[in-house]
A and B are shown apart, each in its own frame.
Chain A
């Protein structure tokens, strides 16, 4: 493993684009994404402790809490943020099912739901297991699970 001290210039692949950034070795991906250079503020800090999931992004199509990842760890990985969702069915499903109120946790839940819908297996148990990673304080969770289930079953059929 290469040893890192001080600011590092590197290239990240975010939403299909190669982006040049300068990051500190101790910098979380959440911090880098939200910083002035990238301005991808869709991922939200809610606890910066891996508990709430508001900062969830996809790394190689899998949901990851960006507050728990160092940016230097994901050089060369394919990163997708909520800004990278282009008319994904999950977005309209969240609107149709009233799956958000304040909207702060929404980006994170969207990323989990979107990633799950791309998985071959998304039965009820898996759906609950995946969505348990995130917290919503406004809705009843039924709206969110309904939205995700709708997208998953649509893809199946």
Chain B
């Protein structure tokens, strides 16, 4: 029997095709009240006065809160964000006040009556404006902020929330000595996660002091910890429940609405209160994905060996830091892409602007970082007249090499990029990057790009699993990972089934997570659930097997070492006819005389990340994650030279997935990732006007891919180099489809349009402009 490597149907599938799958806003306590936020209509302004009187008088209104009522600062890394704007607003859409009413309509009506008098301040509308001399300070008291989770180094009297640096080798000397140098400057706008389910949170404070939170968070245990910290509660008092989540992509890993829901409930005596984002609020008020501008310099030998790199990254983190310092370190630690560069210097800056604040976005900074390095790699290939796949293969990191932060690489923790590249050649019938003319207007070109990514998890991230047995020998699995579509629950159940040698149908797993009963899992992020939860599940399974054997050994009067198991039975290895069923032991064993021993069997397992450390402030030295996933992606486009429109013909990925646990689910994750990455690269952009107003707050202004716009064909293949310390050798896979596909698109279009395309999104207009600038530049 093998459940691993089999395309099983996700456990919750029947519920999802019948409308029976329940999400946070599908089940509400009758009589729940509603909180509605008042968003700022200014991007940067001093709050002079807030008049709540007419709002208070609306029938049904129970409370109105403003920043003056909430004297705390919140933040994952740097505590810089008031839950409700206090004294000033720092982005358009920032919550300024909160209205609680019996029903949503009354709350909304009252929210509309709140008058906020602003004194506008000069808006910091770009990275350049933030870094300019005499730039207005977004956080005047930056030097007073607490760093809750070091490291982070806010720079006093500046708009720099943090800076991360990596230094390796002797970059200046090698740079000067190198034969070939290329420079690329890339610019990527802020983008949105656009999960189909908007964020929602509910809070209720019971008379006994317990706080019930329901929300669609990726980080229920973080919600528990932070609420306890901010409001001086015992963690055990706070119970966070998370049912199925309608997409997350990193955007639900930060604690945002939960704080507002708690404040709202507290203001009305603990009554159950819900705050549900409209799509407009979900886009403009809740955090988005960062923008990035980067200068990448690569130095190489004439035969294309990378020698040195100089890199500077400026992240548009928006008005508050949230997880930006962690993302900056992820970018710094992986800045070379999956290539060996022994001499490098990389600086990553977290730049405050008056844009919506940002948080993790699928890939945790690796997608924009990969875009930068992979555009530079293609420019290098073009300059050297070397096949771009060949260039990448020649420079691929290998076991024995070290990462930019000098972490040692092994076959197990790195995987095999050259093998993936080799598979890609066959998969897309690679003929090199030279465009092929279709007719007098249309031209076809293929671009490639490679990636690597690690988890950037904290060095003490933990996970757990509890397995209880039912009387019939089936098992219930309890884990702390939430289900937002990546099949994390099903994967955990597969791992348990495999280890217990039972059919998957005999493993029952709840769709929701409850922090009160499920063992803690750090956060359902970083594609880490298979590794972390999986290890905990294996540990729990082994614990359960030990208990089964011990009890069976007593009953069968043998040593536990004599026993083996299978088909839901324990049997004596040398005489399998001496056996007991799991069901005979699950709730204790009952002898014929009626007396019994044992009790319910329950396995417990845990896992803690090991051997990671925080990166050194000066050099960045340290180990940022347990292992890397490597892969290569390709895009073939047909480009219209007259209109600059293009069709994506093929999108392809070859990823070293270690052991693939659920092939169909894995292919789906990667295909979906490619579609998202192509959407981000081709059309997604958050626009702000000159006053910093958020202009892309609906799906008709924030445009996502629709049916018919996706690639005509997807190709996905895996190579399987086991990650030895991961369950069955599986590598993280959930985010990776997005990572290099946008770079591959830009590389394809740069070939087709014969102009470097380093700015996203790649709209026909952007291509036209780039060509026009090039033409202008060439003739001047």
Chain A residues in the interface with B (C-beta under 8 A): 34, 36, 40-49, 51-52, 54, 81-83, 85, 91-92, 94-95, 98, 100-107, 110, 128, 131-132, 134-145
- Expressed in whole angstroms, the minimum distance between the Cβ of A53 and any Cβ of chain B is 9
Report chain A residues within 8 Å CB of B13: 95, 100
A49 touches B698 (CB 8 A): yes
A137/B676 in contact, CB under 8 A = yes
Stretch from B20-28, B155-163, B171-179, B409-417 that touches the partner: B20-28
Q: Nearest CB to that of B665 among chain A residues?
A: A98
Report yes or no: B26 in contact with A41, Cβ–Cβ below 8 A.
yes
- Cβ of B328 < 8 Å from any Cβ of A? no
Given contacts A91-B17, A101-B668, A104-B23, whether A132 and B707 have CB atoms under 8 Å apart is: yes
Does residue B9 face the partner (Cβ distance < 8 Å to A)? yes
B153 at the A interface (CB under 8 A): no
Inter-chain contacts of A40 with B (CB < 8 A): 19
* Chain B positions 249-287 with a Cβ under 8 Å from a chain A Cβ: 249, 278-279
B509 on interface, CB distance cutoff 8 Å: no
Question: Are A139 and B698 within 8 A (Cβ)?
Answer: no
Within residues 187 to 223 of chain B, which ones have a CB less than 8 A from any CB in chain A? 193-198
Residue pair A100, B672 in contact (C-beta under 8 Å): no
**In the complex, are the beta carbons of A140 and B714 less than 8 A apart?**
yes
Set of chain A residues within 8 Å of B487, measured between Cβ atoms: 101
A25 to B14, CA, bound (A): 35
Output the nearest chain A residue to B679 by Cβ-Cβ distance. A137
Q: Is the CB of B246 within 8 A of A102?
A: yes
Query: Is the C-beta of B675 less than 8 angstroms from some C-beta in chain A?
Result: yes
Distance of B593 from chain A, by nearest CB (Å): 49
Interface size class of B (residues with CB under 8 A): 35 or more
Any A CB within 8 A of the CB of B708: yes
State the CA gap A48–B30 with chains docked (Å).
23
| Majority secondary structure of chain B interface residues (helix, strand, loop or mixed) | loop
- Give the residue name and chain of the B residue nearest to A136 (CB): B196
CB closest residue in chain B, given A47: B279
The 8 closest A-B pairs by CB, nearest first: A42-B19, A104-B246, A102-B485, A101-B485, A103-B16, A82-B19, A51-B699, A140-B671
Chain B residues within an 8 Å CB radius of A135: 196, 699, 704, 706
Closest chain-A Cβ to B582's Cβ sits at a distance in Å of: 29
A51 with B196: CB separation less than 8 A: no
Please tell me if the beta carbons of A81 and B699 are within 8 angstroms of each other in the complex.
no
Give the chain B neighbours of A48 by CB distance below 8 A.
278-279
| 28 contacts across the A-B interface (CB closer than 8 A) | A41-B22, A41-B23, A42-B18, A52-B699, A81-B19, A83-B20, A85-B18, A95-B14, A100-B17, A101-B672, A102-B246, A102-B485, A103-B15, A103-B246, A104-B197, A128-B707, A131-B706, A134-B707, A135-B196, A136-B196, A137-B196, A139-B668, A139-B675, A141-B675, A141-B706, A141-B710, A142-B710, A144-B707
Please give, as numbers and ranges, the residues of chain B lying within 8 Å of A136 by CB-CB distance: 196
Which B residues between 671 and 709 are near A, CB-CB below 8 angstroms?
A: 671-672, 674-676, 698-700, 704-708
B247, A104: Cβ atoms closer than 8 Å: yes
Query: Which B residues touch A92, using CB under 8 A?
Result: 17
A109 nearest CB neighbor, chain B only:
B707
Given contacts A94-B17, A140-B710, contact A44 B705 (CB under 8 A): no
Expressed in whole angstroms, the Cα–Cα distance for A146 and B338 within the complex equals 35
- Cα(A153)–Cα(B29), bound, Å: 44
| Chain B neighbourhood of A128, CB < 8 A | 707-708
Closest residue of chain B to A107 (Cβ to Cβ) is: B19
B197, B484, B700: most-surrounded residue (chain A CB, <10 A): B197
Q: Which residues of A contact B198 (CB under 8 A)?
A: 45-46
From the candidates A42, A94, A105, A141, name the one contacting B20 in the complex (CB within 8 A): A42
B20: which A residues are within 8 A, CB to CB?
42, 83
Select one of A45, A94, A131, A142 contacting B671, CB under 8 A.
A142
Not counting A41-B27, A101-B486, a sample of 16 additional A-B residue pairs whose C-beta atoms are within 8 angstroms of each other reads A43-B19, A81-B19, A91-B17, A91-B18, A101-B487, A102-B197, A103-B16, A103-B21, A104-B196, A110-B17, A131-B707, A132-B707, A137-B676, A139-B668, A140-B711, A141-B705
Q: Are B672 and A95 in contact (CB under 8 A)?
A: no
Task: Check B486 against A45 for contact (C-beta < 8 Å).
Answer: no
**C-alpha gap A53/B25 in the complex (Å):** 17
Q: Does any Cβ of A come within 8 Å of B12's Cβ?
A: yes
Closest chain B residue, CB of each to CB of A104: B246
Q: Tell me which residues across on chain A come within 8 A of B15, comparing CB atoms.
A: 103
What is the CB-to-nearest-CB distance from B105 to chain A, in angstroms, rounded to a whole number?
A: 8
Residue pair A98, B19 in contact (C-beta under 8 Å):
no
Q: Does B664 contact A (CB under 8 A)?
A: yes
Taking A47-B698, A49-B698, A49-B700 as contacts, is the C-beta distance between A98 and B664 under 8 angstroms? yes
Say whether, besides A46-B197, A54-B196, A102-B196, A143 and B671 are in contact (CB < 8 Å): yes
* Alpha-carbon distance between A138 and B483 when the two chains are bound, in angstroms: 13
In the bound complex, what is the Cα–Cα distance between A23 and B752 (angstroms)?
Answer: 57
Report if B98 contacts A (CB, 8 A): no
Task: Look across to chain B and name the residue whose beta carbon is closest to the beta carbon of A128.
Answer: B708
CA distance A44 to B247 in the complex (A): 13
Residues of A with C-beta under 8 A to B587: none
From 612 to 671 in chain B, residues with beta carbon under 8 angstroms from any chain A beta carbon are 664-665, 667-669, 671
In the assembly, what is the distance between CA of A42 and CA of B486, in Å? 20
Tell me, rounded to whole Å, the shortest Cβ–Cβ distance linking B7 to chain A.
9
Residue of B nearest to A88 (CB): B17
Interface centre among B23, B198, B248, B672 (most CB of A within 10 A): B672
Determine the distance from Cα of A2 to Cα of B199 in the docked complex, in whole angstroms.
38
Distance (Å) between the CB of B31 and the closest chain A CB? 10
B245 at interface (Cβ–Cβ under 8 A)?
A: yes
- CB-CB nearest in chain A for B16: A103
Measured CB to CB, the nearest residue on chain B to A124 is: B708
Q: Which residues of chain B come closer than 8 Å to A104, judged between CB atoms?
A: 23, 195-197, 246-247
* A52, B668: Cβ atoms closer than 8 Å: no
**Nearest chain B CB to A75 CB, angstrom units:** 21
**Residue numbers in B under 8 Å from A132 (CB-CB):** 706-708
Contact partner, A102, options B247, B667, B700, B710, Cβ 8 Å: B247
Of the residues B17, B194, B665, B707, contact of A141 by C-beta under 8 Å: B707
Contact of A137 among B19, B195, B669, B700 (CB under 8 A): B195
Q: A46-B279, A49-B700, A137-B195 are in contact. Are A95 and B9 (CB under 8 A)?
A: yes
B244 interface contact, C-beta 8 A:
yes
B279→A49 contact, CB < 8 A: yes
CB distance from B697 to the nearest CB of A (A): 10
